[in-house]
Structure 1
Amino acid sequence: MSVLHRTRTAPADPAVPASRAPDGPTATPAASGSARTRLGPTWLRVCAVGVTSVVLLVFMLQNTRDVEVTFLWMHGTLPLVLALLIAGVGMAVLAMVVGAVRLTRRDRRQH
C-alpha cells in the first residue's frame, strides 16, 4: 500500500488520549472518507495561476497607449504594457544571473 493512500484511524475509545492510544497513527481520515493526496495543493496552484493570468490580461488590455521610451542612445515609442514587460523580464534575467553567480561562488568555497 502506498504511503499517500494509507488511511489513518483514531483510537477506538475517544476518552483515551492520543499518547495512550495503541501503536500506530492517530489522525482521523479526511472528511470525505478518502485518504489525502497531493492533488489538492496542485489545484490550488492551478487556480492561483489562472487568477494571476486573468489579472495580468486585464492589466495588459488597460495599458495599451503608446509611451515615449529613451534608453541610452535609443529613442522610440511603444505600448506601455510592452515597456513594462521588457523591464520586468530584464530584471528577472538580472536577478537570475546574480543568483547564479552567488551560488557558483558559494559552491567553489565549499569545495
Structure 2
Amino acid sequence: MGSEETMTDDPLTPQGQEPEVPPNKPEAAPARPAVGTRAGVVWTFTIVALIVLVFLVVFMVQNQDRVTVYFLGFHGQLALGVAMLIAAVAGATVVAIAGAVRIIQLRSRARTSGKRQDRKSS
C-alpha cells in the first residue's frame, strides 16, 4: 500500500508535510486546577457530612419501632434506628482502630528504614 501521508485541512500546508509548530508555543492552561484549595476540600467534605447526617436523622425518625437486642447475655429494648446507629458506630470504631494500628506499624517501619539509610550513608 505504500507510505501513509498525513492529510491536513489547512490549504496552505502541502500534502504529506506536517504543519510547522512554533518551538516556544505555550501550552494551553487547564480550564481548572486539578486539586482544589484546602478550604474548598474542607467545605466539600462538610457539605457531604451534613447530607449524610440528614439521611441518618431521617432513618432514625422513620425507624422508631422498639426491638429487643441481645448482646453477650444482656438484652434490652431499643428503637431500631438507634440500635443500628450503635452497630454502625461500633463497626466504624473497629475499622478506625485497625487503620490506626496499620499506620503506626508503617510509620515505625519507615522510621527504622530511615535510620538504616542514615547509618549506611555515614
With the length of structure 1 as denominator, give the TM-score of the two structures.
0.59
Provide Cα deviations, 1:22-44, integer angstroms capped at 9, x if missing partner.
Answer: 565633778xxxxxx74766655
- Point out the structure with max Rg over C-alpha: 2
In the alignment, structure 2 segments of 5+ residues that lack a partner are 1-20, 113-122
Change (3 A) 1:108 1:53: closer
Provide Cα deviations, 1:42-100, integer angstroms capped at 9, x if missing partner.
Answer: 65544433432322221111001111000012111011111111111111111111111
Structure-2 residue corresponding to 1:26: 28
In the alignment, structure 1 segments of 5+ residues that lack a partner are 1-18, 31-36
Residue aligned with 2:97, SS: helix
Alpha-carbon separation, structure 2, partners of 1:108 and 1:86: 33
State the identity %.
Answer: 33
Alpha-carbon separation, structure 1, partners of 2:42 and 2:98: 30
1:94 and 2:94 aligned: yes
Provide Cα deviations, 1:2-26, integer angstroms capped at 9, x if missing partner.
Answer: xxxxxxxxxxxxxxxxx74856563
Coordinate RMSD, CA, aligned: 3.1
Q: Which has the higher contact order (CA 8 A, sep 6+)?
A: 1
